[in-house]
Structure 1
Amino acid sequence: MASSSSQSSAAAASLLQRQLKEITNAKDVPGISVGLLRDNVFNWEVILMLDHDLKYYGGAIFRAHLTFPPEYPHLPPKMVFQTPIPFHPNIYPNGELCISILHPPEDDKYGYENASERWSPVQTPETILLSVISLFSEPNEDSPANLDAAKLLRQEKEGGPKEFRKRVRKCVRESVGED
């Protein structure tokens, strides 16, 4: 008889296979490409091709790994950007994405996030990636993972030097192999 955790892992693998097929076949999700990393359904490679209309990051192409736990969809995946790592207030210098919907479904010990903003099993890889693209459109400098990026963005929004934009443009050029 199979253990409960192996049954849970098998159910997660089946769900992820279905969700991978759905997002791969989706015609209404432009700018997102996904595939398995090392033929493991729990590890996806993601390519985000950000539209030129995005205020800061338009024209960028970023690669990331989306790693799902065996307890998915009850626990969230983790997303880590690969080199070059985007200069972004919500991306740690090691490439790990910090976004509320990927935080565990528990009370926020710091009191910053409502439970409704955190992970819920109704989220899917598609909704996660659409939220990430939205975050590139409107970075959240109020809850930064990269303090330097958040500080520069705030200064720019307050009429200061365009240093944030300059650093992002360099990052965008690197993402398409121009630097």
Structure 2
Amino acid sequence: MTSSSAPSRKALSKIACNRLQKELTEWQVNPPTGFRHKVNDNLQKWKIDVTGAPGMLYENETYQLQVEFPVNYPMEAPQAFFVPPGPLHPHIYSNGHICLDILYDSWSPAMTVSSVCISILSMLSSSPAKERPADNDRYVKNCKNGRSPKETRWWFHDDKV
């Protein structure tokens, strides 16, 4: 019988549970600047407030990031996306999906939730303009029915933003 809180999710492996407990403890002691974990009782799904860095385009703007961990985390990347409305950014779609290589092809088990958050904040901080990706409408239309960003075949071609 599956848990009523996550009927479609499998339970985390022991390795994933131990790793996430450790990351959560480290986060509580030393959270990354600009991020606040919203405490809940679901270790497999974190909600994190992201506040734009001082002096940057998104300064003092706060967005909610949701991070969901697969059964075999950290061997597999977490799924991270902004709960709409996310920031207007050339690599963030209006459905909250983030085009960032470390969330997909460049993931390493050595990475942590904190390192993912720092990468996302760096991506936000380096943006020259608040705008959606050029293919936003087409992409979002193709992601209907709750399609995961992990099902996308991303093309990482812009390392400036």
**Could you tell me the TM-score, scaled by structure 1's length?**
0.63
Q: Per the alignment, in what secondary structure is the counterpart of residue 73 of structure 2?
A: coil
Deviation at 1:36, TM superposition (A): 4.4
Distance 1:91 1:131, change over 3 A: same
Match of 1:157 in 2: none
Contact residue 89 and residue 148 of structure 1 kept, 8 A: no
Match of 2:62 in 1: 61
Match of 2:37 in 1: 34
Question: What are the within-5 Å matches in structure 2 for residues 1-40 of structure 1?
Answer: 9-26=13-30, 29-37=32-40, 39-40=41-42
Residue number among 34, 46, 49 corresponding to 1:47 in the alignment: 49
Contact residue 35 and residue 44 of structure 1 kept, 8 A: yes
Deviation at 1:58, TM superposition (A): 1.2
Q: Per the alignment, in what secondary structure is the counterpart of residue 12 of structure 1?
A: helix
Which structure: greater helix fraction?
1
Deviation at 1:51, TM superposition (A): 2.4
State which structure, 1 or 2, has the greater radius of gyration over its C-alpha atoms: 1
Deviation at 1:140, TM superposition (A): 9.2
Give distance in 2, aligned partners of 1:25 and 1:31: 15
What is the aligned-residue RMSD (CA, Å)? 2.6
Match of 2:99 in 1: 98
Question: What are the within-5 Å matches in structure 2 for residues 133-148 of structure 1?
Answer: 133-139=121-127, 146-147=133-134
Distance 1:102 1:81, change over 3 A: same
Give distance in 2, aligned partners of 1:98 and 1:67: 16
Contact residue 78 and residue 97 of structure 1 kept, 8 A: no
Residue number among 104, 118, 128 corresponding to 1:130 in the alignment: 118
Give distance in 1, aligned partners of 2:134 and 2:72: 32
**Could you tell me the TM-score, scaled by structure 2's length?**
0.69
Give distance in 2, aligned partners of 1:66 and 1:137: 20
How many pairs align? 126
For structure 1, the 5+ residue unaligned runs are 1-5, 105-117, 150-179
Query: What stretches of structure 1 move > 3 A for 4+ residues in a row?
Result: none
Q: Percent identity?
A: 29
Q: Per the alignment, in what secondary structure is the counterpart of residue 44 of structure 1?
A: strand
For structure 2, the 5+ residue unaligned runs are 1-9, 137-161
Superposed CA deviations along residues 14-45 of structure 1, whole A, max 9, x for unmatched, are 11011011012106x221111345x2111000
